[in-house]
Amino acid sequence: MRLILLGPPGSGKGTQANLIEDNNSIPQLSTGSMLRDAVEAQTETGIKAKSAMDAGKLVSDYVVIAIVSERIDKPDCANGFILDGFPRTLPQADALGAMLDEKELKLDCVVELQVDDDALVERISGRFTCSECGEGYHDKYKLPAVSGKCDRCDSKEFMRRADDNAKTLHTRLQAYYKETAPLVGYYYAKGLLRGVNGMGDMDGIAEEIQTVLDKI
Ligand code: AMP
């Protein structure tokens, strides 16, 4: 199964992609985390991407398209994948279509997570993760059970994304509405779009997504 998770920053794409990954045994391909890894490793791609990411702007299409094209050729993608954060522009969507055609693969579904704007700001400005295992937390909605200690791996190190701040978030939301939101119509016209209410609790949303996927 090959699917795209579409939605603004903070809509829960990463969280839901993790759950889909566990339930369906297909990898989550997050262009955001691939780019963050590249920035940390100071690769050529990372160096090119860093300033746009710091400002909350989109990285050039050609950089991201190259990363995805290379990644979906890896053996763990043989049975499918979940794209989280890609495509984010119409040229990226066209490029994805062309690369799948070339590889004789088909896209099965695009799940759009629908979330109110006010909730996005609150969700993003409070989120942090365990530096060791990546478990996600939130200042208001999900603190570790024992203060300062990760529920999953006991690590005491946590981190916040550099771009999860009010100023950058504004630019990221603008980029979403200007560049990414048109993909809703693009995939609707292709008959692939499935809207899911992203405002409920994490497990309820996961169930709703799974119901959609079970019908594919
Ligand atoms: P994310 O983790 O998906 O919120 O992505 C973090 C940042 O990485 C974004 O604000 C962009 O700067 C960059 N990025 C991730 N995916 C893409 C993409 N498909 N196209 C362009 N930039 C991207």
- For each of the chain's 216 residues, which pLDDT tens digit applies? 999 999 999 999 999 999 999 889 999 999 999 999 999 999 999 999 999 999 999 999 999 999 999 999 999 999 999 999 999 999 999 999 999 999 999 999 999 999 998 888 888 889 999 999 988 899 998 999 999 999 999 999 999 988 888 788 889 999 999 999 999 999 999 999 999 999 988 899 999 999 999 998
- Between CA 15 and CA 34 the distance in angstroms is 16
**What is the reported pLDDT for 121?**
86
DSSP at 76: G
152 is catalytic: no
- For residue 86, give the ligand 1 atom closest to its CA: 19
**What is the reported pLDDT for 202?**
87
Q: Which residues pair with 195 in a beta bridge?
A: 112
**What is the reported pLDDT for 83?**
98
**Burial classification of residue 146, based on how many CB atoms lie within 10 Å of its CB (0-12 exposed, 13-18 middle, 19 or more buried):** exposed
**What is the reported pLDDT for 175?**
94
13 is catalytic: yes
Q: What is the pTM of this model?
A: 0.91
**What is the reported pLDDT for 118?**
84
- Between CA 171 and CA 51 the distance in angstroms is 13
161 is catalytic: yes
Q: Which protein residues are within 6 Å of ligand 1, measured from CB?
A: 9, 31-32, 35, 52-53, 56-59, 64, 85-86, 88, 92, 163, 172
| 71, two tokens | 């990644």
Q: Among 180, 182, 207, which Cα is nearest to 9's?
A: 180
